[in-house]
């Protein structure tokens, strides 16, 4: 594996050609090695149908290559040019209210539209032919941020037609569909697949499995759309990696599925913007206004490591204020460096900043870059330069170490609880992230894994929170797993067809876990039920019937955490104090080594190094851990936005 390196996103088509040379020279001076270009340039590559203008692109790649820079070429399919709409007027996406979205921004296409998919195959093939052998080309990116701006779901005719075919393939006969969906309810039975509509514009809520199947269908369209490009690019250059850039907390398609047709996963990390637009409590938003949530980026680093089968990048890293929050705070000095270091600690191969120069025109003119619009360095320019030097001086290398804790994260569970929350806002992701944060507080390395994982061998603790439905692989994996397993709340509470399982949730054999959820008490999140010994239940509270040992119960005598052998069941959503207690109990049972970290500090092990980052507003002091032999960067006194790297006695 090559040493970790820096990149930047660059738009040669935005600048006079006589600027390219100086830009490339300065990128090289910063220590940048990768430059992503092209992903929005279709109108310059093919200004009118069939009129191909690739010369400028090749000249731009020549200039970058002359400065030793490697190019990630982004296929331009996220921004079809205006003429495309004249050619395919029905390719525009339709929202859930039935309104067609128009041209004039980006992502104005429908994943189900086969005519547009074919146009994409065509332009990608032409570009691959033209630049596939260019010496500067190092990787491809497909499209840009699939699904961004709410574009996974389109309620168009193309989607409806595709959905009917998809259903017919899945169920074979309409009777089988009626049975699986339980359509005897409310006389919803169909006589043929052609009668089935999309689950929008109904009088009240659709059958949840109708909605879930539509989401599964839509997710498959995103993967199929990507696969067309992947196949073209791999056929042209099997040796070059194909990458896609995913997002934060974006759940509308199954990223693990799409991960089967890319070589490297990447994601676009804007920690301050993501916190600003999240539903985190206002105190957290205030506390980390200029740093971003201290666990959100890390969670996604670990998630996308799984999506990319171990290989992942940051394709876009926030460099300063963004433009898309209600407010867009300036990061604390040093944060661009910290974010890059944290990503490298979690195994990133490349961290690429968005963007080289702030554009003085169009939608993103208030979005910072490494350079200001007047070509002078913005703060992140110098921070990037510092990171490049530090990567070299520390010799950080190797892979992110295997975690001691695994958390199962599942896209279908996100869809299921979005469809039927039962308690407003109940979400799979929120439960997974809450567990992530409480284990991480002890400096424990975590892996986020898909529900299709065949074996959890080697982990000490496995957590499966709020999982919609079991699959056979996961059932087998947990019964063979020898470590501690934490299940729930709400895990295994549905079948794949979105019905309540016959033996009631969590739907496990009683010799493994003798727990039945008899009913659920769902209460507004601001109403708390105290828990004996500390912490509180809120939002979701299950009435359990169990012969398992009760470890934690609430003040009303309802069991909250129970255990049977190495399996633990959590029957509630808890506040932070309760979830921390649950994690601490498992950590103690598993006898896991823990670190004592100051409040804002987080860490991760990669290769023979432990990287500490300080998200706190003030300086902190680290206690050297037993396995460390000294610091190769920074010291035990870690300032706000600081980074300290310790060398470990044994290489990871």
Longest dimension (CA), the chain: 76
- In whole angstroms, the minimum distance from the beta carbon of 188 to ligand GAL comes to 39
- In whole angstroms, the minimum distance from the beta carbon of 145 to ligand GAL comes to 5
* Residue 322 binds ligand GAL, judged by CB under 6 A: yes
Of 313 and 612, CB closest to ligand GAL: 313
| Rounded-to-integer distance, Cα 53 and Cα 450, Å | 42
* Residue 300 binds ligand GAL, judged by CB under 6 A: no
Tokens of 316: 């876009």
Tokens of 383: 């921070």
With CB under 6 A as the contact rule, which of the stretches 142-150, 157-165, 170-178, 604-612 interacts with ligand GAL? 142-150
From 163, 246, 270, 381, residue interacting with ligand GAL (rule: CB under 6 A): 270
Per-position DSSP letters for 586-628, written without gaps between them: HHHHHT-------TTEEEEEETTEEEEEE-SSS-EEPPPPTTE
* Residue 354 binds ligand GAL, judged by CB under 6 A: yes
Tokens of 46: 């093919």
Q: Before 489, cis peptide (omega within 30)?
A: yes
Torsion, Cα 177 180 184 185, to 10 degrees, reads -120
From 110, 254, 302, 316, residue interacting with ligand GAL (rule: CB under 6 A): 316
* Residue 10 binds ligand GAL, judged by CB under 6 A: no
- In whole angstroms, the minimum distance from the beta carbon of 227 to ligand GAL comes to 21
| Rounded-to-integer distance, Cα 208 and Cα 468, Å | 13
From 119, 268, 410, 447, residue interacting with ligand GAL (rule: CB under 6 A): 268
| Rounded-to-integer distance, Cα 319 and Cα 588, Å | 40
Using CB atoms within 10 A of its CB, is residue 204 exposed (0-12), middle (13-18) or buried (19+)? exposed
Of 38 and 535, CB closest to ligand GAL: 38
Helical spans, DSSP H, in 410-535 = 411-419, 428-440, 472-480
Residue 352's SS3 state is strand
With CB under 6 A as the contact rule, which of the stretches 140-148, 330-338, 369-377, 427-435 interacts with ligand GAL? 140-148
Is 145 considered catalytic here?
A: yes
Kindly identify the residues of this chain, within the stretch 70-129, that bind ligand GAL according to CB under 6 A. Answer: none
* Residue 342 binds ligand GAL, judged by CB under 6 A: no
Of 152 and 644, CB closest to ligand GAL: 152
Q: What is the DSSP letter of 199?
A: S
Residues in a beta bridge with 181: none
Q: What is the CB neighbour count within 10 angstroms for residue 468?
A: 25
* Residue 367 binds ligand GAL, judged by CB under 6 A: yes
Of 367 and 610, CB closest to ligand GAL: 367
Candidate list 39, 145, 252, 414, residue with the active-site label: 145
Q: How many residues bind ligand GAL (CB under 6 A)?
A: 10
Of 80 and 559, CB closest to ligand GAL: 80
* Residue 252 binds ligand GAL, judged by CB under 6 A: no
Specify whether the backbone of 438 is left (phi greater than 0), alpha (psi in -120 to 50) or beta.
Answer: alpha
With CB under 6 A as the contact rule, which of the stretches 143-151, 298-306, 499-507, 528-536 interacts with ligand GAL? 143-151
* Residue 145 binds ligand GAL, judged by CB under 6 A: yes
* Residue 412 binds ligand GAL, judged by CB under 6 A: no
Of 105 and 195, CB closest to ligand GAL: 105
* Residue 143 binds ligand GAL, judged by CB under 6 A: no
| Rounded-to-integer distance, Cα 455 and Cα 579, Å | 25
From 5, 79, 125, 144, residue interacting with ligand GAL (rule: CB under 6 A): 144
Provide CB contacts within 8 A for 55, sequence distance 6+: none
Of 73 and 354, CB closest to ligand GAL: 354
Among 564, 567, 542, CA closest to 553: 542
Is 316 considered catalytic here?
A: yes
Cβ(449)–Cβ(409) under 8 Å?
yes
Q: What angle do CA 611, 613, 616 make, to 5 degrees?
A: 160
- In whole angstroms, the minimum distance from the beta carbon of 625 to ligand GAL comes to 36
Of 37 and 198, CB closest to ligand GAL: 37
- Count of residues for the chain? 652
| Rounded-to-integer distance, Cα 506 and Cα 525, Å | 23
* Residue 148 binds ligand GAL, judged by CB under 6 A: yes
Q: Which residues bind ligand GAL (CB under 6 A)?
A: 144-145, 148, 268, 270, 316, 322, 354, 364, 367
Tell me which residues are annotated as active site: 145, 316
């Amino acid at each position: 594996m090559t040493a970790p390196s820096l990149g930047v996103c660059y738009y040669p088509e935005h600048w006079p050609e006589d600027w390219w040379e100086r830009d490339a020279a300065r990128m090289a001076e910063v220590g940048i090695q990768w430059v992503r270009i092209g992903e929005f340039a279709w109108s310059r590559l093919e200004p009118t149908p069939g009129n191909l203008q690739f010369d400028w692109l090749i000249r731009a790649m020549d200039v970058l290559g002359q400065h030793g820079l490697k190019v990630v070429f982004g296929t331009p399919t996220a921004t079809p040019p205006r003429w495309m709409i004249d050619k395919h007027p029905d390719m525009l996406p339709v929202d859930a209210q039935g309104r067609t979205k128009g041209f004039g921004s980006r992502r104005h296409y429908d994943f189900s539209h086969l005519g547009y998919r074919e146009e994409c195959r065509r332009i990608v093939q032409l570009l691959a032919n033209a630049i596939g052998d260019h010496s500067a080309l190092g990787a491809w990116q497909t499209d840009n941020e699939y699904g961004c701006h709410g574009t996974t779901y389109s309620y168009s005719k193309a989607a409806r037609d595709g959905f009917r075919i998809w259903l017919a393939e899945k169920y074979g006969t309409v009777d089988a569909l009626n049975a699986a969906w339980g359509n005897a309810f409310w006389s919803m039975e169909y006589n043929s697949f052609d009668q089935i509509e999309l689950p929008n514009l109904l009088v009240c809520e659709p059958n949840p499995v109708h909605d879930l199947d539509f989401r599964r269908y839509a997710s498959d369209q995103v993967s199929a759309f990507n696969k067309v490009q992947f196949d073209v690019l791999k056929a042209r250059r099997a040796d070059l990696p194909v990458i896609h850039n995913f997002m934060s907390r974006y759940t509308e398609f199954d990223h693990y599925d799409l991960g089967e047709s890319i070589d490297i996963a990447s994601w676009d990390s804007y920690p301050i913007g993501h916190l600003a637009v999240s539903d985190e409590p206002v105190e957290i938003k205030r506390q980390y206004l200029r740093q971003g949530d201290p666990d959100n980026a890390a969670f996604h680093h670990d998630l996308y490591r799984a999506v990319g089968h171990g290989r992942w990048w940051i394709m876009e890293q926030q460099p300063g204020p963004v433009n898309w929050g209600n407010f867009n705070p300036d990061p604390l000095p040093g944060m661009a460096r910290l974010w890059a270091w944290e990503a490298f600690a979690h195994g990133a191969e490349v961290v690429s900043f968005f963007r080289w120069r702030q554009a003085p025109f169009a939608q993103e003119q208030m979005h910072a870059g490494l350079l200001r619009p007047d070509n002078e360095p913005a703060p992140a320019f110098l921070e990037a330069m510092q990171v490049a030097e530090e990567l070299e001086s520390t010799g950080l290398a190797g892979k992110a170490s295997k975690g001691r804790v695994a958390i199962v994260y599942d896209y279908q569970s996100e869809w299921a609880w979005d469809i039927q929350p039962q308690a407003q806002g109940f979400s799979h992701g929120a439960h997974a992230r809450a567990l992530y944060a409480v284990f991480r507080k002890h400096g424990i390395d975590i892996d986020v894994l898909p529900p299709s994982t065949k074996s959890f061998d080697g982990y000490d603790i496995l957590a499966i929170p709020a999982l919609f439905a079991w699959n056979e692989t996961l059932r087998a994996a947990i019964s063979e797993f020898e470590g501690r397993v934490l299940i729930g709340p709400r895990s295994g509470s549905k079948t794949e067809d979105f019905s309540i399982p016959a033996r009631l949730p969590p739907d496990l054999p009683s010799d493994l876990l003798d727990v039945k959820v008899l009913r659920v008490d769902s209460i507004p999140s601001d109403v708390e039920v105290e828990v004996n010994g500390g912490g509180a239940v809120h939002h979701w509270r299950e009435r359990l019937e169990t012969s398992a040992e009760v470890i934690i119960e609430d003040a009303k005598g309802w069991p909250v955490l129970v255990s049977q052998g190495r399996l633990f069941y959590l029957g509630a959503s808890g506040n932070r104090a309760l979830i921390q207690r649950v994690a601490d109990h498992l950590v103690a049972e598993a006898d896991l080594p823990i670190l004592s970290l100051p409040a804002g500090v987080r860490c991760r092990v990669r290769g023979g190094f432990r990287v500490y980052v300080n998200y706190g507003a003030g300086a902190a002091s680290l206690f050297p851990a037993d396995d460390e032999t000294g610091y190769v960067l920074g010291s035990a006194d870690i300032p706000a936005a600081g980074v300290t790297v310790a060398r470990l006695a044994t290489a990871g």
